[in-house]
Amino acid sequence: MDRNLIKRFTHFLAVVEEGHFGRAAARLGMSQPPLTAQIQMLERALGVKLLERTRQGARPTWEGEVLLPAVRRLEESALAVEALAREVKLGRRELVNIGCITSAMLKTLPPVIRAYRKQRPETVIAVRELDTSDAIEALRRGEIDIAFARLERDRFPIRIAPLATDRLVVALPDSDPLAAEDQIDIAALQDRPLVMLPRAISPAYFDGMVAACRVAGFAPVPAREVNSAMAQLALVASGLGVALVSSGMAMLAPPGVAFRPLLQRVEAVGVAVAWNSERENPICREIVQIARDIAVEQG
Amino acid sequence: MDRNLIKRFTHFLAVVEEGHFGRAAARLGMSQPPLTAQIQMLERALGVKLLERTRQGARPTWEGEVLLPAVRRLEESALAVEALAREVKLGRRELVNIGCITSAMLKTLPPVIRAYRKQRPETVIAVRELDTSDAIEALRRGEIDIAFARLERDRFPIRIAPLATDRLVVALPDSDPLAAEDQIDIAALQDRPLVMLPRAISPAYFDGMVAACRVAGFAPVPAREVNSAMAQLALVASGLGVALVSSGMAMLAPPGVAFRPLLQRVEAVGVAVAWNSERENPICREIVQIARDIAVEQG
DNA sequence: GCCCGGTGATAGGAAAATCGTATCACCATG
DNA sequence: CATGGTGATACGATTTTCCTATCACCGGGC
């Protein structure tokens, strides 16, 4: 990747938003001619014209329009990093806040909450659905006290207790020929478009899935990326691809989707309960213990 | 924003992933000393030490760990822009970004996508799960082209086409005595703790539910608020309360939860397809038309 | 038709950023 | 003690980015 292009994409966005090279330059704190030069360099590097220039200013070409949403997300990611860095520099809760990934929401969490509630009926329990990476971050910042997420090791100050191993299963459109089989050889997915979650959302899921495909001799080709496990299932139901998902998702019975186990028993990183050791308190300890006990009972 | 920092964040990520300045430099196609310099400039600019240096290489500090997920998202955004630019250059693809609320994810969206795909197999469809308020924002900013959300009227520049009416149903723990009934009088919920979504997430759902309870002579007491429909169901399954949810959620068939219709037919704001009239394009028009046609067929 | 003003593009040079090679400082290991 | 591996420092070269000044083009008004 040519990293010098990254900044230029944000310049492109400024011009689109201002619709005018001069005003965009002012906003970026520079003069107009070098901004023109940067946009032209970007266009040359991509081999695509991104802006139509008129006397009334500039507006995106069709190609520019297609790129725009992704460029916006890049800008927002950069702003998010910047904002987070500011907060980290400054360094700073109640009740028990639990974060939980989608696939643990209906399988792992309810029995834990039921048991905890028997012991501590007066504690307020708040639950948020979060993906693994957001859950880790929320633990660090003290926004949640406990997380149920797909993690395999401690990372100071986050401590974990593994609750279960997990397996990957195939989610298919129920009209798919492969759905007629009881089990599916992972190699059969070689040329199939895969609906995947980005690595950032759940690194363990992503790495486990990539590793399993590689062992079978191919690199998974992401046909689509989506931002949630539910969206993954929706695209499968829409016929846009198949997905390797955790077995926890098979507890849902969404119409249009068939779940099939893999012929190869592909272990995935299971759900663990996690907490921030710097913010450990009796409630945390109790919930963690309950989660462990239940995991042992369930084998 | 200091745009020169963006590239350096991606350098930081490479060092973390390699755990070694030398190997990270090789991966980035540069030599080690300037990489060291770039990281130090980044640390100085942020006023935060991001990496501990040891003889065995480098690993992130606590602060570095906190920033890491956001930096990963930045890197992936950049890769996504690059990948999309490549596709745009080849002129092969059009991209349509769709946002969809959870309850429409498996009921409304798949048939629309299936139909559209028959007409335009070369169009790339990207789907994101968003709640109603986020979907409106994303439409305004042009991050998505189409949204399926719970809306009842236009709000310039957002235009909508209603697709369906909807009804509220009761979600109960399946062991609940009330689950034995075929239909439930809403008044029976008067003293039951309700698991609710905040108004901000879906104003239409909230207002419809509050209105129905008031007609029955009581104000709903939110025992719990959660951030997603999935978390709502998880708390019901955990025995922490009951919920009034849209009938679309019953399609998930989650374990531990029973869905029962209300005795009173309580209409709720249904799912509508929405688009930004300032960014209207042929693809939007086609998808909106397909969604309408399907809604009419389904009655 | 002519003039004017607004827009982005071009030109040339200066400044800043980024880079490379060479070397250093430190530390663990044998 | 010698060696090797790591990141840091030093210095100079190269590349990138920037600025001011000016140009080319075009539409609108008179």
Query: Closest chain B residue to A254 measured between Cα atoms?
Result: B252
- C-beta atoms surrounding A230 within 10 Å: 25
Interface of B with A in 5-24 (CB under 8 A): 5-7, 9-10
Length of chain A: 299
Reported confidence tier of residue A94, pLDDT bands at 50, 70, 90: very low
- Closest by CA position to B269, among listed B299, B251, B244, B246: B246
Mean pLDDT of A115-135: 78
Query: Closest chain A residue to B104 measured between Cα atoms?
Result: A234
Structure tokens at B298: 């389904």
- C-beta atoms surrounding B90 within 10 Å: 10
Reported confidence tier of residue A95, pLDDT bands at 50, 70, 90: low
- C-beta atoms surrounding B32 within 10 Å: 14
Q: Does the pLDDT at position A122 exceed 80?
A: no
Helix (H, G, I), strand (E, B) or coil at A298: coil
Q: How far apart are CA B60 and CA B69, in angstroms?
A: 12
Phi, psi of B167 (to 5 degrees): -125, 150
Is B10's CB within 8 Å of A6's CB? yes
Q: Does the pLDDT at position A93 exceed 60?
A: no
Contact A16, A51 (CB under 8 A): yes
Reported confidence tier of residue A137, pLDDT bands at 50, 70, 90: confident
Three state DSSP letters for A112-148:
HHHHHHHHCCCCCEEEEECCHHHHHHHHHHCCCCEEE
Footprint of strand D on the protein (CB under 7 A): A 4, 7, 25, 29-35, 37-38, 41, 55; B 20-22, 32-33, 36-37, 39-40, 53, 55-58
- Of all nucleotides, the one whose C1′ comes closest to residue B31's CA is C20
B294 has a chain A CB within 8 A of its CB: no
CA B6, B136, B116 angle in degrees (round to 5)? Answer: 95
Q: Share the mean pLDDT of chain A.
A: 83
Q: How far is the CA of A33 from the C1' of D20 (A)?
A: 10
The per-residue pLDDT for A40 is 92
Contacts of A209 (CB under 8 A, 6+ apart): A168, A196, A220, A244, A268
Structure tokens at B257: 């939860």
State the smallest CA–CA distance between residue A140 and chain B in angstroms: 7
Contact A217, A186 (CB under 8 A): no
Interface of B with A in 86-145 (CB under 8 A): 88-89, 93-95, 97, 100, 102, 105-107, 109-111, 113-114, 117, 125-129, 141-144
Contacts of A203 (CB under 8 A, 6+ apart): A132, A133
Structure tokens at B97: 């970004």
Q: How far apart are CA B6 and CA A79, in angstroms?
A: 10
- C-beta atoms surrounding A87 within 10 Å: 12
Is A66's CB within 8 Å of B95's CB? yes
Protein-proximal nucleotides of chain C (any atom < 7 Å from a CB)? 5-12, 17-22, 26-28
A264-291, pLDDT tens digit by residue? 877 777 889 999 888 777 778 888 989 9
Reported confidence tier of residue A124, pLDDT bands at 50, 70, 90: low
Mean pLDDT of A220-231: 75
Mean pLDDT of A138-144: 81
pLDDT tens, residue order, chain B (299 aa): 678 888 999 999 999 888 889 889 988 888 999 999 999 999 988 888 899 888 788 888 877 877 877 788 788 788 888 878 887 777 655 678 899 988 888 888 988 988 887 887 667 677 888 888 888 888 887 778 899 998 888 888 899 998 888 888 999 998 899 899 999 988 888 878 888 887 777 777 877 888 888 778 777 766 667 778 888 888 898 887 899 988 888 888 888 899 999 988 777 778 899 998 887 777 788 899 999 988 888 76
User: What's the first-to-final CA gap in chain A, in angstroms?
Assistant: 46
- For residue A146, the chain B residues in CB contact (below 8 A) are none
The per-residue pLDDT for B19 is 87
Helix (H, G, I), strand (E, B) or coil at A57: strand
The domains of chain B, with CATH numbers, are 4-86 (1.10.10.10), 93-163+270-297 (3.40.190.10), 166-268 (3.40.190.10)
Q: From the list A47, A224, A239, which residue is nearest B89 (CB)?
A: A47
Is B233's CB within 8 Å of A89's CB? no
B50 has a chain A CB within 8 A of its CB: no
CA A175, A177, A180 angle in degrees (round to 5)? Answer: 90
